[in-house]
Structure 1
Amino acid sequence: MHRTGLRRAGSAPALDPAWLLAKAGMPADDWQRQLLACGDRRLLVCCSRQAGKSTVVAALALHTALFHPGCLVLILAPGLRQAQELHTKLRGIHAAVSADLGAWAGVSRLGAVETVFAQGSRVVALPGNEARVRGFSGPRLVVLDEAARIPDSLYASVRPMLAVSRGRLVAMSTPFGKRGWFWREWETGKEWRKFRIPWNLCPRIEPAFIDNEREALGDAWVEQEYGCSFGSSEGLVYPAFDTCLVRKMPHPLAGEAVGGIDFGWRNPFSAVWGTRDREDLLLLHGERHKTRTPLSAHAQALPRAVRWFADPAGRTEIEELKGAGLRVWPAPNAIRAGIAAVHGRLESGRLQVLADGCPNLVAEAGKYRYDTDGDGEEPLDRDNHALAALRYLITGLDKGRMARVRKPG
Structure 2
Amino acid sequence: MQSADFITLIRAASDPWTFFCEHIYTQDPACGVRAFPQYEFLRELTQAAERERFLLVPKSRQMMVTWTMTALFLWRALFKGPGVYLFLSRNERCAQELLERTRFLIEHLPEFMQPKLSIASREEIAFGPLGSRILSLPASANGPRMYCPSGVFWDEMAFTPYDEDIWAALKPALDSGGCFVGVSSSNGANNLFARFVQTNSPPLAGGIGGAIKSPDSSLIPPPSSLFCVHRIHYTQHPERTTEDWKKIAAAGLSENRWRQEYEISFESQDDLVYSEFDPAVHVLKEDWQVNRDWEIFRAVDFGYHHPFVLWLQVSPEGDVVVFDEWAGEDRTTGEMLLSIVSTDLRHGIRESNVKWTACDPAGAAVPDAGISPVDVLRRGGLKLRYRASHIAPGVERVKSALCDAAGKVSLRISPRCKNLIADLSRYRWAADRDEPLKDGLCDHSLDALRYFFVNLDSASEDMDFAPRLAGMRR
Taking the aligned partners of 1:52 and 1:379, their CA distance within structure 2 comes to 38
The answer to whether the 8 A contact 1:20-1:93 is kept is no
Cα distance, 1:187 vs structure 2: 1.5
1:397 alignment counterpart = none
Taking the aligned partners of 1:321 and 1:358, their CA distance within structure 2 comes to 27
The answer to whether the 8 A contact 1:49-1:174 is kept is yes
Cα distance, 1:298 vs structure 2: 7.2
- Does residue 262 in structure 1 map to residue 273 in structure 2? no
Cα distance, 1:17 vs structure 2: 3.7
1:132 alignment counterpart = 143
Taking the aligned partners of 2:108 and 2:93, their CA distance within structure 1 comes to 23
Task: Answer with 37-46 or 228-237: which moved more.
Answer: 228-237
* Secondary structure in 1 matching 2:268: coil
From the superposition, tell whether residues 362 and 218 of structure 1 become closer, same or farther in structure 2 (CA, over 3 Å).
closer
Structure showing the higher helix proportion among its residues? 1
1:228 alignment counterpart = 264
1:206-355 to 2 correspondences below 5 Å: 207-237=243-273, 260=301, 262-265=310-313, 267-268=321-322, 299-300=354-355, 324-326=381-383, 352-353=390-391, 355=393
Which consecutive unaligned segments of at least 5 residues does structure 1 have? 240-257, 271-293, 310-318, 329-349, 369-376, 394-409
Q: Residues 72-93 of structure 1: CA distance to partner in whole angstroms, max 9, x if unpaired?
A: 1000011111121112111111
Counterpart residue identity of residue 271, structure 2: G
Taking the aligned partners of 1:304 and 1:177, their CA distance within structure 2 comes to 29
Counterpart residue identity of residue 165, structure 2: S
1:345 alignment counterpart = none
The answer to whether the 8 A contact 2:59-2:183 is kept is yes
* Secondary structure in 2 matching 1:107: coil
- Does residue 89 in structure 1 map to residue 101 in structure 2? yes
The answer to whether the 8 A contact 1:299-1:321 is kept is no
Task: Answer with 221-230 or 90-99: which moved more.
Answer: 90-99
1:348-387 to 2 correspondences below 5 Å: 352-353=390-391, 355=393, 360-361=397-398, 363=400, 379-380=424-425, 387=446
Taking the aligned partners of 1:73 and 1:267, their CA distance within structure 2 comes to 53
* Secondary structure in 2 matching 1:124: strand
Taking the aligned partners of 2:152 and 2:230, their CA distance within structure 1 comes to 17
Taking the aligned partners of 2:359 and 2:389, their CA distance within structure 1 comes to 22
The answer to whether the 8 A contact 1:162-1:168 is kept is yes
Task: Give TM-score, length-normalised by structure 2.
Answer: 0.55
1:177 alignment counterpart = 188
The answer to whether the 8 A contact 1:364-1:386 is kept is no
1:16 alignment counterpart = 16
Taking the aligned partners of 1:392 and 1:91, their CA distance within structure 2 comes to 40
- Does residue 188 in structure 1 map to residue 199 in structure 2? yes
Taking the aligned partners of 1:379 and 1:233, their CA distance within structure 2 comes to 16
The answer to whether the 8 A contact 1:44-1:192 is kept is yes
* Secondary structure in 1 matching 2:99: helix
RMSD (CA atoms): 4.2
Task: Give TM-score, length-normalised by structure 1.
Answer: 0.63
Taking the aligned partners of 2:383 and 2:64, their CA distance within structure 1 comes to 45
1:242 alignment counterpart = none
The answer to whether the 8 A contact 1:48-1:174 is kept is yes
Taking the aligned partners of 2:104 and 2:445, their CA distance within structure 1 comes to 41
2:84 alignment counterpart = 72
1:113 alignment counterpart = 123
The answer to whether the 8 A contact 1:46-1:175 is kept is yes
- Does residue 163 in structure 1 map to residue 175 in structure 2? yes
Q: From the CA coordinates, give the structure whose radius of gyration is larger.
A: 2
* Secondary structure in 2 matching 1:228: coil
Taking the aligned partners of 1:141 and 1:198, their CA distance within structure 2 comes to 25
1:41 alignment counterpart = 53
From the superposition, tell whether residues 387 and 295 of structure 1 become closer, same or farther in structure 2 (CA, over 3 Å).
farther
Taking the aligned partners of 2:105 and 2:136, their CA distance within structure 1 comes to 16
From the superposition, tell whether residues 209 and 62 of structure 1 become closer, same or farther in structure 2 (CA, over 3 Å).
same
The answer to whether the 8 A contact 1:48-1:225 is kept is yes
* Secondary structure in 1 matching 2:231: strand
Q: Identity percentage over the alignment?
A: 23
Alignment coverage as a number of residue pairs:
306
